A and B are shown apart, each in its own frame.
Chain A
Amino acid sequence: MEAPTRSAPASARRPRSALRLVRPVLWLALLVVLLALPLYLEAAWLKAGQYMMLGAVGAIGLTMLIGQAGQLSLAHAFFLLAGGTSYTVLSGPTGDERVLGLGLDPGLALLGAVAISTLLGLAFAPVAGRLRGIYLGVASLSLVFLGLYLGQAAESLTGGTSTGRPPAKFELFGFPFSNAGPEIELLGVPLRQAERVWYLFLALTVIAFVLARGAIRGRTGRAWRAVRDNEAAASVMGVGVARAKAGAFAVSSAYAGLAGVMTVLWFDILKPDESEFGTYGINTSIAFLAMVIIGGLGSISGALVGALLVNGLPQVLSLYAADLGWFTGTGDGAFTPALISSFVYGAAIVLVVLFEPGGLAAIGRRMTDLLRTTHSGKDR
C-alpha cells in the first residue's frame, strides 16, 4: 500500500496500536466476505467474480513490471496465451491424434505453465533490457501478433482457431473443481463447479497478492525501483541492472501465465483468436494496462481495484441488463454494457492521468492519512 516513491509522512510516526490493527483487520474482513460470498451469490455472479480475479492476478504482475520496474509492456496477452496453452498441453490427455497432450496432473500442469511463461519472459528479457518506455511498449506488442500467428499455426498445441480444445478440468490431490466427485454441502449450499472454482481462484489470487507484496517490500522491489528511477545510480549502489530488469519481466510473465491458466479454466476452452482482437489480443493487453493505470502504477491493491472495475463492470452491467431490462437498445446508437464500461474506464484513465497520477491507490492513501490525522487529534 505504501507509495514506492513517497516516504509517507505518516509512516514516520507510528500511529497508536489500535489504529495499527485497522488495516490487517480490514483485509481479514474482506477475505471473510469473499469466502462467504459463494453461499449467497448465484452462479452467474460467481462467474463474474472469477473473471475479476483472473484479471486481478494478471494486473498484479503488470503493475509490478510497469509501476515498480518502469518497463512498459503490452505483451501481457501473449503470456496469457502462453500460460493457457502450456496448461492445456501439459494436462491434456495423451494419445489424442489431433492435439498433443502430456497427461500430467492438473496441479503440476499449472505449475509447469507458470514456469514456461516465466522462461518465455526471460527469453524476451534481452530485448526488454535494451529498450525503454514507448519503444519497449511497441516491441512487446509484437509478441501479441506472434501469439496470434502461433495460436493459429500450432494447431497440435492450441487446437486451432476452428474448434480450439478443452482444457483438463482442474483437480488438486484428486479433488475435482467441477461438478464431479464428492457432493459437498456448506450451510445448505451445494458446492458445485462455480463455487469450487471460486475458492480455487480466490486461493490463487491471495497467493499472488501475498507474494507480490513480499517482493516489492523486500530487496527485489527496492532494486526494481532503483532501476526505474535511475539506472546509473542503481548500478553505483550495487544493483545488477540487467538482472533486475530481466527478473521483473520474468515475474510479470509468470503472473500473466497464471492468469492465462485461469482464463482457459474459466472459459472451459482454449481457443486461439481469429483476429488481433480477442481473448488474447491487443484489447486484452490494453485492458490490463487500464487496470494498472486506474489502480495506480506500482500499487498491488490498486491493481485489484482496477481489475474489479475493468473486468467486472461489463460483466456486472450485462447481468443487471438481463435482470432488470436495462440497456435493451439495439442497433448502432445503443448504449450497451460493453460500451458503457468502455466509457467509464476510458474516463477513469483520463481523470487519473489529469488529477491523480497515483491512481486510486493514492486516493486511498490520502483517505487513510485523513483518518489518521483525525484520530490522532493533532494536525500534522
Chain B
Amino acid sequence: MKRLLALTCAATLLAACSTKGGDSGGGGTDDAGVRTGLGVTDSEITLGVMTDKTGVFKNLGLGITQGNELWVEDVNAEGGVCGRQVRLEQVDHGYKADTAKTLYPQIEPKVLGFVQLLGSPITAALKQNLATDKVVAAPASWSSELLDNPYLMIVGTTYDVEMIDGLSYLREEGMIADGDTVGHIYIDGEYGANGLRGARYYAEQHDLDLREVKITSTDNDLTNVVTGFKGEGVKAILLTTSPTQTGSVLAANKALGLNVPVLGNNPVFDPVLHSSPAAGALDKLYVVASSVPFSADIPKAQEVAEKYKAAYSEPPNAGVPYGYAVAEVWGTVLERACANKDLTREGVQAALKQTTSAETGDLVAPLDFSVPGAPATRQVYVAQPDAAAEGGMRYVKPLFEATEAKEYRAPHQE
C-alpha cells in the first residue's frame, strides 16, 4: 500500500509541474520598422545548418559548413545584415534521415532558415516540414525534382542540366559525335535519376545510343560494368556516382585499355581520389559543376581559399567555395527582405522569389530564382582533376551554357 501512495503522490507532483505551453514565436517590429519572427532578434539573425559531419558525405559536409562559417565571419566583420550579426546553429545528422527528422523540430524554432540542408534522403524526409513551417532552405542536393517546393533554394544548376552542358562540351571538343554509343552509370535514386534525365534528353537530341546501367550506392567495384561498355564500343562514359565508384570506373577504364573520356556530375569527384589506387587514371575525367573548384583562379575563389587556409587545417574540397557562395546568396536574399522591411519567414520567401540576380563573385553562375520550377542557372564550369592544384581540381572551361540546356524543360518548370 505504501507504494501505491507513493505513486499517487508522484502522479500529482507530475500534474503540478508547469507544462510546456505558451511558447509563441517572437514576432514583432523593431525600431526601424522591420517585421521579425522566428530566428531573428534585435541583434542577431540565426541560420540553421543540417549537415553530415560523420556519415558518408562527411568530407563534403565539412567543406560546405566551413564555407558557411567563413562567410558568416566576413559578413559580421562588415557589420552584419540588417544591423544584426549572423549566427549559425549547426546540427550533424550523420546522413541518416531518421536522425534528421528528430533533430529538425529541435532546431527549427531557433532559425530563420537553413543555409545548408545536406543529403537527398534528408531533404525528401523534411520536404513536408519545410512547407508547413514556411522555412526557406538551401539543399546541398541539386535535383531538379526538388524545384516543385517553393521553399527550396538550389544554388547552382541541377544534375540534369549539368549532364546536358557536359555532353555538349564533349561534342564540341570532338570526343563524341552524333550517333555514338555512350554508357551512363548512375546510382538509383534522386541523384542518379536526375542525372539520367539530362543524359536521355541530350541523347534524344543528338541521336546517341545511351546504354544505362543502374547501380546502388554500395556497389564499389564497377570493373564488370566497364568491361561490358568496352564490348559495346562506347565512346564516352557518363557518371552520376559517388567518388569511390568514380575511382573504380576510371581505374578500369585505364586498365582495360578502353581510355574513353569520362564525364561526371559535380559530386563524383573528391580530392582524396588523388591518393587512391585510381590516382594514375584520373586524366580522363571531366567534372561539370556550376560552382568553382577550390583552386579556381578568380579573385573571389582565391580570397576564400586564403581565408580557409588561415582558419582550418583539413584538406579543402569544392564544398568550401560552394558553402561560401550559398551563404552569399542567403545574404543577398536577407538584404532584400530587410529592404522590404520584412525579416519573417514569409518575408524571406517573398524576397527569394524577387531575387533575379544573386551575385557571388563568380563562385557560382549568376542566379535567378524568379521562375518557379526552373533551375536558377544553366551555366556550368568544366573541371579536371589535378593533383598539383589546391582542392585537387583545375577548371578547363569557364562558365558557359549550351543551347540544348537553354531549351531543356525541367520537370516542374511552369
A314 and B99 form a contact (CB under 8 A): yes
Residue interface bits B89-111, CB-to-A below 8 A is 1, else 0: 00111101111011111110000
Interchain CB contact under 8 A, A44 and B106: yes
Which range contains the number of B residues in contact with the other chain? 35 or more
Contact of B275 with A by CB under 8 A? no
Q: Does B127 contact A (CB under 8 A)?
A: yes
Which A residues lie within 8 Å of B194 (CB)?
Answer: 162
Q: Which of B7, B53, B188, B193 contacts A29 (CB 8 A)?
A: B7
- Nearest A residue to B99 via CB reads A318
Evaluate contact between B190 and A163: CB separation under 8 angstroms: yes
Chain B residues, Cβ within 8 Å of A267: 97-98, 101, 125
A163 / chain B contacts, CB cutoff of 8 Å: 124, 145, 190
In the complex, whether A279 has a CB less than 8 A from a CB of chain B is yes
Residues of chain A in range 255-293 having any CB-CB distance to chain B below 8 Å:
266-269, 271, 274-279
**B127 to A269, Cβ gap below 8 A?**
yes
Q: Does A171 contact B (CB under 8 A)?
A: no
Additional pairs, 16, CB under 8 Å, beyond known A269-B124, A319-B106: A26-B7, A29-B7, A29-B11, A44-B104, A166-B128, A267-B125, A274-B216, A279-B98, A315-B99, A318-B103, A319-B102, A322-B103, A329-B54, A330-B58, A331-B314, A336-B92
A271-B121, A338-B54 as given contacts; A194 in contact with B105, CB under 8 Å: yes
The answer to whether B98 touches A271 (Cβ under 8 A) is: no
- Quick check: is A354 within 8 A (CB to CB) of the other chain? no
Q: Are B21 and A189 in contact, CB atoms less than 8 angstroms apart?
A: yes
With A29-B7, A337-B99 in contact, is A161–B188 under 8 Å at CB? yes
| A32 interface hit (Cβ, 8 Å) | yes
Q: Which residues of B contact A (CB under 8 A)?
A: 1, 3-4, 7, 10-11, 14-15, 17, 19-22, 53-55, 58, 62, 91-94, 96-99, 101-107, 121, 124-125, 127-129, 132, 143, 145, 187-190, 192-194, 216-218, 314
> Which of B53, B101, B128, B218 meets A334, CB within 8 Å?
B53
Contacts of B3 in A (CB 8 A): 22, 25
* Contacting residues, chain B, for A276 (C-beta < 8 A): 216, 218
CB distance A185 to B21 under 8 Å? Answer: yes
Question: From residue 1 to 29 of chain A, which have CB atoms closer than 8 A to chain B?
Answer: 18, 21-22, 25-26, 29
Partner of A40, one of B19, B125, B132, B192: B19
Contacts of A232 in B (CB 8 A): none
Question: How many residues of chain A get a CB closer than 8 Å to chain B's CBs?
Answer: 60
A334 proximity list for chain B (CB < 8 A): 53-54
Contact in complex: B129, A162 (CB < 8 Å): no
- Pair A44/B188 contact, Cβ less than 8 Å: no
Q: Using CB atoms, name the residue of chain A closest to B62.
A: A330
Contact of A279 with B128 at beta-carbon distance under 8 Å, contacts A29-B11, A47-B105, A334-B54 already known:
no
* 8 pairs, A vs B, C-beta closer than 8 Å: A41-B20, A51-B98, A161-B189, A162-B189, A187-B21, A268-B128, A318-B99, A337-B94
Contact of A318 (CB < 8 Å), options: B20, B22, B102, B188: B102
- Alpha-carbon gap, A103 to B105, bound state (A): 30
Complex contact B4–A25 (CB within 8 A): yes
- Residues of the B chain whose Cβ atoms lie less than 8 Å from the Cβ of A21: 4
Q: Does A229 contact B (CB under 8 A)?
A: no
Please give, as numbers and ranges, the residues of chain B lying within 8 Å of A36 by CB-CB distance.
Answer: 14-15
A188 in contact (CB, < 8 A): yes
Cβ-based interface call for A164 (8 A) = yes
